[in-house]
Amino acid sequence: MSEKFDVIVVGAGPAGTSCAYTCAKNGLKVLQIERGEYPGSKNVMGGVLYRKQMEEIIPEFWKEAPLERPVVEQRFWMMDKESVVTFGYKGLEWGVEPYNNFTVLRAPFDQWFAKKGIEQGVLLITETVVLECIVENGKVIGVRTDRPDGEVYADVVVLADGVNSLLGKQLGYHNEFRPDEVALTVMEVINLPKEKINDRFNLEDNQGCTIELFGDSTKGNLGTAFIYTNKESINIGVGTTLSSMIKAKLKPYDLLDYLKTHVMIKPFLEGGESAEYLAHLIPEGGYHSVPKVAGNGVLLVGDAAQLVNAIHREGSNMAMASGKMAAETIVEAKSRNDFSESTLNIYREKLYDSFIIKDLEKYKDAAHTFENHPQYFKDYVPMMNQAASKFFTVDGTSKREKQKQIMRSITGERGTLKVLQDMYRAWKAVK
Amino acid sequence: MSTKTIEEKQYLIRFKADKKSHLTVLDHDVCMTKCPDKICTIFCPAEVYKWEGLRMQVGYEGCHECGSCRIGCPYQNIKWEYPKGGHGIVFRLA
């Protein structure tokens, strides 16, 4: 079988399916290869899907896609051992069309999305691993799979093979990632009756809430935890950079259980039934870790291209947007009948001109800064909690005196100059 | 009930294990002589790796295919491949 396609897409996650869908819609002959039993069976996400980038591929997708709840409230928790400083935003405009984002369960969602691609003419083959790209005269001309006689050819191969992108590594587009470029995240789906979720999170049936947790949620290590509400379940997860996990000798599932039994969290989960446990890596190297994304006959999209904005928990939206840009580039390349790197670099230009690389560039030093200066998660979160406790406890001390005491305790612990340096450094990293 | 141990967590998941391991410890002596922490036995989210005094036991059947061991092994001593097509972990929900 040496059938030739216009495009071979490796992987059926959000990046791969966006690309395959858009290519097929434009009349190209597309083969999509997925190693799992079905699309989504190997894919993991905390659970927030942004409307904007999905809508640009399938307008009004929310009318038919298997979604959980539109998110109307986003909370942020700075958590200490027995306290929490919270802020957030709840807005009912997010609960009506066109919505801002949704919680989703990826296995059903990815299957639905891939089916939309099939309806456009994509040939999807599951249970098939792509072992390597076939390279001839410096050009990728196809892939070798683990099927008998499993070589297939195409003008362009799109690598949407996820965070581990062994294929990108095979081509020499990136080296093995370092432990500080990936976050190891574990999560559980915990079933709870709808009424309980609505009551505990102050929601109506078709409203969702997300909580991002910092501080003691990772025992002060560089990372975050999250709680997302589905229709009749909660996703609760926690992750830190793999390097932090190694340095602190943390077992990820112990950290998850620490979170689940935390006095601030436990009441949310009371009576819940665990339904699934999942582990996954998130590419968090950011701007500096983005590999070469276009070569002769090949493009890299989504996690395989390290397109994740960890600070804003955006990833699947970048995956979709990059998949679409890759598809548009391939359509253009097809019309020129030129699949060389110089033509496929249109994709690179689109990517670097879009919010994706602009946002990664904005935060290019953030991960590095927080990795090398653990005080932000370890020291400042507890300090914020102590300050709030002191300020809001009525004990006969005047408010002005309280402010003085708080300032003294913060600068006293670290020194005024150090505190100012820390503030400046953090501002510079995210400005 | 909500799970309390890694064993309980692993029971929640469907696996379609291949007969052959997709994870290979290249040199068990490296684990023994160079790696006092046996750090993969700690950070692996599925407790795939267990040190048995002389060699590393690899319970690949319960692997989440996350890739942490390949990246996190301080001696690049783990050969990491994808399981054969259609095999390995099968996530049903998230």
Q: Are residues A307 and A405 in the same domain?
A: no
Is A35 in Cβ contact with B85 (below 8 Å)?
yes
Chain B residues 56-85 within an 8 A CB cutoff of chain A: 64-68, 70-72, 76, 80-85
> Tokens 């990826």 belong to which residue?
A106
Chain A residues 314-373 within an 8 A CB cutoff of chain B: none
pLDDT at A388: 96
Check: CB of residue A144 under 8 Å from CB of residue A128. Answer: no
Is B16 in Cβ contact with A281 (below 8 Å)?
no
Q: Are residues A53 and A152 in the same domain?
A: yes
**What are the beta bridge partners of residue A228?**
A210, A235
Going from the C-alpha of A19 to that of each of A57, A135, A162, A219, A321, the distances in angstroms are 9, 22, 14, 39, 9
Average pLDDT over every residue of A307-322: 95
Tell me, yes or no, if A382 comes closer than 8 A to chain B by beta carbon: no
The candidate with the shortest Cα–Cα distance to A152, out of A110, A173, A123, is A123
pLDDT category of residue A2 using cuts at 50, 70 and 90? low
Q: Which residue in B2, B64, B90 is closest to A190 by CB distance?
A: B2
For A337, phi then psi, to 5°, come to 50, 45
> Looking at the 3D structure of chain B, how many domains does it have?
1
Is A249 in Cβ contact with B71 (below 8 Å)?
no
Q: Are residues A303 and A257 in the same domain?
A: no
Distance separating alpha carbons of residues A305 and A201, to the nearest angstrom: 36
What chain A residue is nearest to B91 in terms of C-alpha separation?
A: A41
Is B88 in Cβ contact with A189 (below 8 Å)?
no
At position A88, the amino acid (one-letter code) is G
Tell me, yes or no, if B36 comes closer than 8 A to chain A by beta carbon: no
> Looking at the 3D structure of chain A, how many domains does it have?
3
Tell me, yes or no, if A43 comes closer than 8 A to chain B by beta carbon: yes
pLDDT at A44: 97
Distance separating alpha carbons of residues B86 and A325, to the nearest angstrom: 29
Is A42 in Cβ contact with B10 (below 8 Å)?
no
Q: Are residues A261 and A293 in the same domain?
A: no
Average pLDDT over every residue of A391-400: 95
Tell me, yes or no, if B54 comes closer than 8 A to chain A by beta carbon: no
On whether residue A74 sits in a domain, the answer given is no
Average pLDDT over every residue of A7-29: 98
On whether residue A77 sits in a domain, the answer given is no
Q: Are residues A212 and A138 in the same domain?
A: no
Is A163 in Cβ contact with B92 (below 8 Å)?
no
> Tokens 């190209």 belong to which residue?
A28
Tokens at residue A190, please?
A: 């915990």
For A195, phi then psi, to 5°, come to -60, -40
Among A283, A300, A325, identify where a domain stops. A283
Q: Are residues A164 and A220 in the same domain?
A: no
CATH number at residue A250: 3.30.9.10
Going from the C-alpha of A92 to that of each of A204, A206, A208, A233, the distances in angstroms are 11, 11, 11, 22
pLDDT at A1: 47
Helix (H, G, I), strand (E, B) or coil at A224: strand
On whether residue A260 sits in a domain, the answer given is yes
Residue B29, domain extent: 6-90
Among A283, A301, A336, identify where a domain stops. A283
Distance separating alpha carbons of residues A106 and A275, to the nearest angstrom: 14
Distance separating alpha carbons of residues A96 and A72, to the nearest angstrom: 9
- Interface A-B: count of C-beta contacts within 8 A: 145
pLDDT at A370: 87
Instruction: Select from A102, A127, A254, A281 the residue whose CB has the most chain B CBs within 10 Å, as the one to mutate to test that interface.
Output: A281
What chain A residue is nearest to B82 in terms of C-alpha separation?
A: A129
For A399, phi then psi, to 5°, come to -60, -40
On whether residue B82 sits in a domain, the answer given is yes
Q: What is the pLDDT of residues B22-71, one digit of tens each?
A: 999 999 999 999 999 999 999 999 999 999 999 999 999 999 999 999 99
Q: Are residues A62 and A166 in the same domain?
A: yes
On whether residue B50 sits in a domain, the answer given is yes
- The distance from CA A50 to its chain's CA centroid, rounded to whole angstroms, is 11
The candidate with the shortest Cα–Cα distance to A268, out of A323, A209, A330, is A209
The candidate with the shortest Cα–Cα distance to A9, out of A144, A157, A122, A109, is A157
Q: To 10 degrees, the CA torsion angle through B5, B6, B11, B15?
A: 170
Q: What is the pLDDT of residues A225-282, one digit of tens each?
A: 999 999 999 999 999 999 999 999 999 999 999 999 999 999 999 999 999 999 999 9
Instruction: Select from B2, B22, B63, B81 the residue whose CB has the most chain A CBs within 10 Å, as the one to mutate to test that interface.
Output: B2
Q: What is the DSSP letter of B26?
A: S
What chain B residue is nearest to A34 in terms of C-alpha separation?
A: B85
To the nearest whole percent, how much of chain A has pLDDT over 90?
A: 90
Q: What is the pLDDT of residues A36-55, one digit of tens each?
A: 999 999 999 999 999 999 99
pTM of the entire predicted model: 0.96
On whether residue A82 sits in a domain, the answer given is no
Tell me, yes or no, if B26 comes closer than 8 A to chain A by beta carbon: no
On whether residue B1 sits in a domain, the answer given is no
Q: Are residues A15 and A121 in the same domain?
A: yes
Distance separating alpha carbons of residues A303 and B67, to the nearest angstrom: 13
Tokens at residue A353, please?
A: 């001109």
Average pLDDT over every residue of A56-71: 98
Burial class of residue A361 (count of CB atoms within 10 Å of its CB; 0-12, 13-18, 19+): middle
Does residue A170 have a pLDDT over 50? Answer: yes
On whether residue A395 sits in a domain, the answer given is yes
Distance separating alpha carbons of residues A171 and A173, to the nearest angstrom: 5
Residues of A in contact with B42 (CB under 8 A): 246, 249-251
Instruction: Select from A45, A103, A129 the residue whose CB has the most chain B CBs within 10 Å, as the one to mutate to test that interface.
Output: A129
The candidate with the shortest Cα–Cα distance to A298, out of A340, A269, A238, A346, is A340
Is A245 in Cβ contact with B43 (below 8 Å)?
yes
pLDDT at A375: 87
Distance separating alpha carbons of residues B19 and B39, to the nearest angstrom: 26
Among A264, A283, A302, identify where a domain stops. A283
Q: Are residues A186 and A170 in the same domain?
A: no
At position A79, the amino acid (one-letter code) is M
Polymer length in residues for chain A:
431
Got the DSSP string for A93-152?
GGGSTT-SEEE--HHHHHHHHHHHHHHTT-EEE-S--EEEEEEETTEEEEEEESSTT-EE
Q: What is the complex's ipTM, to 2 decimals?
A: 0.98
Residue A200, domain extent: 182-283
Name the minimum distance, in Å, from the CA of B33 to any CA of chain A.
19
CATH number at residue B75: 3.30.70.20
